[in-house]
Structure 1
Amino acid sequence: MELHVRYEGDDDPEKCTARKLDRMDMVTLHRSARATPAGVVLNPFADRALSPADADHDRLIALDCSWETAEREAFDFAGVQRSLPFLVAANPVNYGTPFQLNTVEALAGGLVILGERDHAERILSKFRWGHTFLELNDEPLERYAACDDSSEVVAVQEEYLVEESE
């Protein structure tokens, strides 16, 4: 599966996982929405959750921008819009925080849900903490990847959200 990133460039270049993956030819960066090809767009504002039913697409697309500036309009580019379900960050900045994934974590989570765990492991292997993301999220990722569609993913996610709120 091709990995693409709509790159805003508004974060710390030293900590930018998308730029590192680009340097290693593991993703393609795009500086504008128009230049970004269509595919499955990982969008936290999307109405439907990513599920194995989306695996028929050949591109996974993430937006790399600061969480402080991420607005609904920033994700307005071609493709099927899908949100990632409950996952916990393993990166040093947001370790242990639900839904605060950096770009490589979002792409890796998406890849696992879409049945491409080996690809997820390859991109995460470029970060010393990368394996921790899969360890922290092993059970939910396995369960999401076993779902048939978005509604099943949301049902599984609800179980984790209930646990999180207790």
Structure 2
Amino acid sequence: MIEFEQDDPKKCTAKKMIKKGIAKPTRSPIGIILNPVSDVVLSIEDKKIIEEKGITVIDSSWNKSNKSFFMKFNTKLSRRLPFLLAGNPINYAKPFKLSSLEAIAASLFIIGEFDLGLKLLSLYKWGKTFYDLNKHLLDIYSKKSKSEIIEIEKIVIDNIMRGP
């Protein structure tokens, strides 16, 4: 976790993951960097890097961070997550506005580590809500290539824009 101390510490999922020994704070990104402004989507193709080096999350407040803030972390190992809805109480059902915990869990689901993703989500009561909101999408994105995920995401967003 690259922490910026912008959220309420009692609600900060990064802090809880660090406290539980699931994550550790860092100042330098290591492995895959989850970055919402990356042009590259996370996919099964990133699994080896994640297994060898891990995932770095930029833990900042959605209300205080803009595109230029995230661009500072945009490297060849930066990845964005595909379309998903937040399950946390602060950004409930907002697309792309995931907590750090949700972002890591989603990454694990995408690379096929379902049990580990579910275990991580169990740290919060609302973790199951995130999973329930996104189960279908996570199943579809799981173990897919970048190009497959981009195509799926495009269809999902087109269907949403078209409406019922």
- TM (normalized to structure 1)? 0.88
- Name whichever structure is richer in helix by fraction: 2
Which residue of the partner structure matches residue 43 of structure 1? Answer: 35
Amino-acid identity (%): 35
| 1:1-166 superposed matches below 5 A | 5-30=1-26, 35-57=27-49, 58=52, 59-75=54-70, 76-77=72-73, 80-147=77-144, 149-165=145-161, 166=163
Count of residues in Structure 1 that have an aligned counterpart in Structure 2 = 157
> Shift of the alpha carbon at 1:49?
0.5
Structure 2: 5+ residue stretches without partners: none
- Name whichever structure is richer in strand by fraction: 1
- Deviation digits for residues 6-54 of structure 1, max 9, x if unmatched? 1100111111000011111111122xxxx32421111111011000011
Structure 1: 5+ residue stretches without partners: none
Q: What secondary structure sits across from 2:25 in the alignment? A: strand
> Shift of the alpha carbon at 1:163?
2.1
CA distance in 1, matches of 2:141, 2:153: 8
Q: Is the 8 A contact 2:111 2:143 kept in 1?
A: no
Q: Is the 8 A contact 2:83 2:96 kept in 1?
A: yes
One-letter amino acid of the counterpart of residue 153, structure 2: Q
> Shift of the alpha carbon at 1:145?
1.0
After TM superposition, which residue ranges in structure 1, 4 or more long, deviate above 4 angstroms?
Answer: none
- TM (normalized to structure 2)? 0.89
- Deviation digits for residues 72-129 of structure 1, max 9, x if unmatched? 4544346601110000111011111111111100111011101111111111111011
